[in-house]
């Protein structure tokens, strides 16, 4: 009997993948900025994040239903209110036992729409990867942009798709081109828009370059 128990324990240990005991819960925080009715809902963005996380060992995306049942339905609004405060974001995400958070911002006040994604590591209390910019032709749609960019920042953190996974091998960090949209003030602006109801004006092409202005309509100086 003792020999049989030892054999079963050894078999169970052999079949358990390395690192499978640690699974990170991933919470999606969708934010939409629009002057009128947005052409898509936050639930679509949440599903896009879930699709990008699917098939990556060690990662599990929390559903909208799970966040609601956990009595933390106000989580999205609270994270929005953090603006660019990474410590504040981490504290809010930890309330639902999330190890990681993906903040997805889609702005329809520019054309093509601006899509920004940030990966927050709750334990490290900081943003560890990001991808920001207008929707590109190769991405085809907002959902395509969200899924592609979320996939890239997850891979930068070592969460590879199952067929790409390799033992003891981490992908190199993503080196992104410097852009106005990488500035933390873009995220501060998004927080101001949501919390205070201010308007955001993003001028992508001017004679002097690009600029971001946040304030009441008509108050922004010429760039």
Per-residue pLDDT tens over the stretch 154-199: 999 999 998 755 554 455 555 454 454 555 555 555 554 444 444 4
Exposure string over 56-84, b if 16+ CB within 10 A, otherwise e = bebbbbbebeebeeeebeebbebbbebbb
The whole-number pLDDT of residue 206 equals 39
The whole-number pLDDT of residue 38 equals 85
Domains of the chain are 21-176 (3.40.50.10070)
The whole-number pLDDT of residue 219 equals 54
Sequential DSSP letters for 106-171: EE-SSSSPEEEEEEEETTTTEEEEEEEEEPPGGG-SHHHHHHHHHHHHHHHTT---TTT--TT--P
Closest CA to 120 of 93, 149, 96: 93
- What is the tens place of the pLDDT at every residue in 125-140? 999 999 999 999 899 9
The whole-number pLDDT of residue 51 equals 94
The pairing of strands 114-121 and 100-107 is antiparallel
Half-sphere exposure of 76 (CA within 13 A, CB side): 21
The whole-number pLDDT of residue 12 equals 35
Q: What are phi and psi of 180, to 5 degrees?
A: -60, -30
Rounded Cα–Cα distance for residues 140 and 4 (Å): 57
Predicted TM-score (pTM) of this structure: 0.64
- Residues of the chain short of pLDDT 50, as ranges, are 1-20, 71, 168-169, 175, 177-178, 180, 192-210, 212-215
Q: What are phi and psi of 175, to 5 degrees?
A: -105, 110
């Amino acid at each position: 009997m003792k020999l049989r128990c030892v054999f079963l324990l050894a078999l169970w240990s052999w079949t358990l993948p390395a690192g499978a005991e640690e699974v990170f819960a991933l919470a999606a925080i969708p934010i939409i900025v629009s002057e009128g009715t947005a052409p898509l809902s936050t639930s679509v963005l949440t599903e896009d994040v879930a699709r990008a996380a699917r098939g990556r060992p060690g990662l599990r995306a929390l559903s909208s239903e799970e966040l609601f049942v956990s009595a933390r339905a106000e989580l999205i609004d609270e994270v929005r209110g953090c603006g660019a405060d990474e410590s504040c974001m981490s504290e809010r995400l930890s309330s639902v036992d999330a190890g990681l958070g993906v903040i997805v911002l889609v702005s329809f006040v520019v054309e093509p729409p601006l899509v920004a994604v940030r990966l927050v590591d709750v334990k490290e209390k900081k943003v560890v990867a990001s991808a920001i910019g207008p929707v590109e032709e190769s991405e085809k749609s907002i959902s395509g942009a969200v899924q592609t960019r979320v996939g890239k920042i997850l891979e930068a953190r070592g969460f590879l798709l199952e067929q790409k996974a390799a033992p003891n091998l981490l992908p190199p960090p993503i080196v992104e081109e410097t852009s106005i949209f990488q500035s933390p003030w873009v995220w501060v602006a998004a927080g101001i828009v949501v919390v205070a109801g201010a308007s955001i004006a993003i001028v992508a092409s001017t004679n002097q370059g690009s600029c971001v202005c946040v304030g009441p309509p008509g108050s922004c100086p010429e760039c």
